[in-house]
Structure 1
Amino acid sequence: MTALAADQAPTPRRLRIAVLNRQFSGTGGGAERYSIALVEQLAAQHDIHVFAQHIDHVWPGVTYHQVSAPLTRPRWLNQLWFATATWWATRKGFDVVHSHENTWHGHVQTVHVLPIKYNLLQGVQGARLALRWLNIITSPRLLVYLALERSRFAVRQPRALVLTSQTLVAQVLQTYPACQAALSVITPGVERVVGAASAAEQAAARARLGLPLEGFGILFVGNDYRKKGLTSLIQALAQLPRSCFVAVVGNPAQTAHFKVQAQSAGVAAQVFFLGSLADVGVAYQAADCLAHPTLEDTFAMVVLEAMAHGLPVVVSAARYCGIAALLTDEVNALVLADPQNAWALSTALSRLQQEGALRQQLSQAALAFAQNHQWSALAQRQAQIYADLADHRQPDTGRS
């Protein structure tokens, strides 16, 4: 393209985008942080409107719409309410509606978790399958979730289904094979590669969080402690030197149960429950490594975020954790074949504690990996999906 042609290239059209996510807060899980990151990256490029029931976020140029929550329990009824309320609010006046929730509407559907139908029916046969279907048809909760999901994956034009991990593709296609043409993958990213903390920065971060200033700090980040493997980590900690400790970041709802586990394992004084943090960055600075022995994660943003801070990571294999499909054991991570094997986890953590050369190698490789997974590039792939969909939609001059 000549310089003149480049000068004459049309400016991308500014679109009016509705983003649907019930919880729009940085203290939420990976799905929430994913949607927030896209909004922040694209707010200057497009007119972004966020529809959520809980909003704890402020960003220049973003318009926020509080969606009512007359019934937060049962959750399935609230999900149906949110889907209906946001459909009504966004049915006119938007070029693209982007849903991160289980809704029947939305030109872009970003899928963060395994399909409910897959979890319920995959591999179930014979009498067990009949009983499972009996359970489904007698459960309003399951019927609502499955009906919403079926409509979400329905083949409509124009519609894009974005998966947050390559490992999700096979499970989605096993469950909803007709949607293949609409699928694409946009993994999570990081805003920037922060780099490893200096000794002074680590000490300051530990003091701020009330963590031991000395010792080997293992970080655990996750809102569902059970699913993310905190039980295995507590068992592994019991096999490590007393100078090792675990900092737990995430929703504190399950803290009491796991304090009992830590007490039973004899490591209560080595486990620090920090609750949800508005800025998880300080926890990454305070740690020496991240342990993520998750039992189920379609990607695991926390692993990528830790790597952007130069932390060596111990992570479950790809069958449990999507990001592991992109990692190489002993090169840029230590990968656990079985996250419930506490001995294997303790062995990996012991190596990181004792082998400075291994820590340094994994830290440098982690930073290189994170460098290739930044939101600035990933968000533009999402913006292109918006543009393609808007080009194929019928003009809508109404404004809601």
Structure 2
Amino acid sequence: MTRIVQIVPFIGPGSGVAGVAWNLEQQFRALGASVERYTFDDARRGRPRPWPRSKLMRRLARGWRVVWFSTFGTARARRFLAERPDAVSICHNDVMAGDVYVNHGVILGSMRARGNPAWLMVRNPFHIFVHLRDRARYRGRTHRAVVVLSQQDVAELRDAYGRVRPRTVEIPNGVDLGRFRPPTHEERVEARSALGLGTDERVAVFIGHEFHRKGLRYAIEGLRYAPSVLLLIVGGSDDIIAEANASAQGLGVGDRVLFVGPRHDLAPFLAASDMFVLPSAYEANALVVLEALASGLPVVTTRVGYAPEIVVDGDNGYLVDRDPLAVGERLEELAGLEDDELAGFRRRARASVEGHSWRATAERYLALADELLAERTAASRPGAPGGTEAKAAP
């Protein structure tokens, strides 16, 4: 039985790194592997601290958590792993330990995509810490393999850190094909009714908390070129929602923008929509793009992360520049389709991710784990380079 330890700051159903690790954990167990987790709370040994209320203090607390888990958490994680010599460890963030490191993003790449990276790095010293930490990670011998989530990741890593010493293996994220699926007619009507929508509107949905990086303003401005489209926005916080709403009102499209705030269950909002839009500046592999496609929505997105490998122009969506006109024209093109033509897009969207189940993704991780175990066993044999006999030789 393969034994897996996942190292991740937090784990649980949903999006982001925590959701990736949680989905892998479920599938590893379903495939017969033994799975343990090592989280920030485990490193803290069950001593939680109250989360600060002010925005500034929350920001400082997040930075402190990254630094602590990367340093003290690393030392404790290494002791934890030393007690499990037969396990293959998969690290998802922060900790400088583990056989496999999953690259969920390159901090310098994200800063460059937003423009003025030097200022963005200096403005937040924690970004500098992460960049230097990961430079040591990728150029050193901390990990035996690095999992990248898209082909673009390899170029991003080399551009940011130069030589990457561990071997890289592309394993894209998966999607829950049971939870995210094209809705029935009844489910679609119910989802729209809950939002106060009728059956005739053409609805584009945007999902994301970081409005600036995810490019919400391009979607809102794009409505000027998509007069038939209503934009449904899921995510955000009070201050950035207020800012985005003011922008929509100023552009004269406020009556076609609906903010619902952060939501845990995304399926109803995807069920209520006709298309998905994400003009993001940077992604490693946006889970929500796969979830939208699985829900049968054509996707209008930028050429970042895994999108160029899964979205085919005119087939299951469109790849666009980060430009309001380009975004708006494609949204209006989809909105103007006859019902049967849009249904064709929906079928092709779903078909494009049928091979991306979390089960298939977990199988690829376990295959990599088996390779690493075989290499470890071979290296430990007497006479092998680095083996016990070689170490004893004068």
Query: TM tier, shorter chain?
Result: 0.7 to 0.9
**Structure 2 alignment gaps of length 5 or more:** 51-56, 381-394
1:50 matched residue in structure 2: 37
Shift of 1:68: 4.5
Cα separation, partners in 2 of 1:266 and 1:26, compared to 1, 3 Å: farther
Residue type of the alignment partner of 1:87: T
Mapping of residues 44-83 of structure 1, within 5 Å:
44=30, 45-53=32-40, 68=48, 73-74=59-60, 75-83=62-70
Cα deviations across residues 9-36 of structure 1 (Å, max 9, x unaligned)? xxxx231x3323224343443x332222
Cα separation, partners in 2 of 1:213 and 1:165, compared to 1, 3 Å: same
**How far, CA to CA, are the matches of 1:244 and 1:173 in structure 2?**
40
Cα separation, partners in 2 of 1:332 and 1:159, compared to 1, 3 Å: same
2:274 matched residue in structure 1: 288
For the pair 1:334 / 2:322, whether they are aligned, the reply is no
Instruction: Identify the match of residue 197 of structure 1 among 183, 186, 189.
Output: 183
**How far, CA to CA, are the matches of 1:150 and 1:168 in structure 2?**
15
Residue type of the alignment partner of 1:240: A
Cα separation, partners in 2 of 1:342 and 1:140, compared to 1, 3 Å: closer
**Structure 1 alignment gaps of length 5 or more:** 1-12, 56-63, 396-400
Cα deviations across residues 309-334 of structure 1 (Å, max 9, x unaligned)? 11111111x2x343223332112212
**How far, CA to CA, are the matches of 2:90 and 2:20 in structure 1?**
13
Cα separation, partners in 2 of 1:22 and 1:275, compared to 1, 3 Å: farther
Checking the alignment, whether the CA contact within 8 Å between 2:191 and 2:268 is kept in structure 1 is yes
1:58 matched residue in structure 2: none
For the pair 1:354 / 2:318, whether they are aligned, the reply is no
Residue type of the alignment partner of 2:2: R
Shift of 1:53: 4.5
Residue type of the alignment partner of 1:100: H
For the pair 1:154 / 2:139, whether they are aligned, the reply is yes
Three-state SS of the structure 2 residue aligned to 1:161 is strand
**How far, CA to CA, are the matches of 2:23 and 2:124 in structure 1?**
36
Three-state SS of the structure 2 residue aligned to 1:200 is helix
**How far, CA to CA, are the matches of 1:355 and 1:393 in structure 2?**
56
Per mean C-alpha deviation after superposition, the further-off stretch among 303-312 and 101-110 is 101-110
Calculate the aligned-residue CA RMSD, in Å.
3.2
Residue type of the alignment partner of 1:22: P
Cα deviations across residues 230-257 of structure 1 (Å, max 9, x unaligned)? 101111223333x632211124252121
**How far, CA to CA, are the matches of 1:115 and 1:271 in structure 2?**
31
Shift of 1:110: 0.4
2:101 matched residue in structure 1: 109
Instruction: Identify the match of residue 271 of structure 1 among 250, 257, 261.
Output: 257
For the pair 1:306 / 2:306, whether they are aligned, the reply is no
Checking the alignment, whether the CA contact within 8 Å between 2:103 and 2:148 is kept in structure 1 is yes
Cα separation, partners in 2 of 1:52 and 1:205, compared to 1, 3 Å: farther
Residue type of the alignment partner of 2:98: G
Mapping of residues 1-400 of structure 1, within 5 Å:
13-15=1-3, 17-29=4-16, 31-44=17-30, 45-53=32-40, 68=48, 73-74=59-60, 75-91=62-78, 92-94=82-84, 95-116=87-108, 141-156=126-141, 159-179=144-164, 182-192=167-177, 194-208=180-194, 210-214=195-199, 215-241=201-227, 244-253=229-238, 254-316=240-302, 318=303, 320-336=304-320, 338-339=321-322, 341-356=323-338, 357-393=340-376
Checking the alignment, whether the CA contact within 8 Å between 1:18 and 1:90 is kept in structure 2 is no
Q: TM-score, normalised by structure 2?
A: 0.80
Richer in helix (by share): 2
Shift of 1:380: 0.7
Three-state SS of the structure 2 residue aligned to 1:43 is helix
Checking the alignment, whether the CA contact within 8 Å between 1:103 and 1:152 is kept in structure 2 is no
Shift of 1:391: 4.1
Checking the alignment, whether the CA contact within 8 Å between 2:15 and 2:287 is kept in structure 1 is no
Shift of 1:156: 2.2
Checking the alignment, whether the CA contact within 8 Å between 2:149 and 2:172 is kept in structure 1 is yes
Three-state SS of the structure 1 residue aligned to 2:6 is strand
Checking the alignment, whether the CA contact within 8 Å between 1:188 and 1:301 is kept in structure 2 is yes
Cα deviations across residues 194-222 of structure 1 (Å, max 9, x unaligned)? 542233211111233x2412311111111
Aligned residues: 358
Shift of 1:185: 0.7
Three-state SS of the structure 1 residue aligned to 2:288 is helix
**How far, CA to CA, are the matches of 1:379 and 1:245 in structure 2?**
37
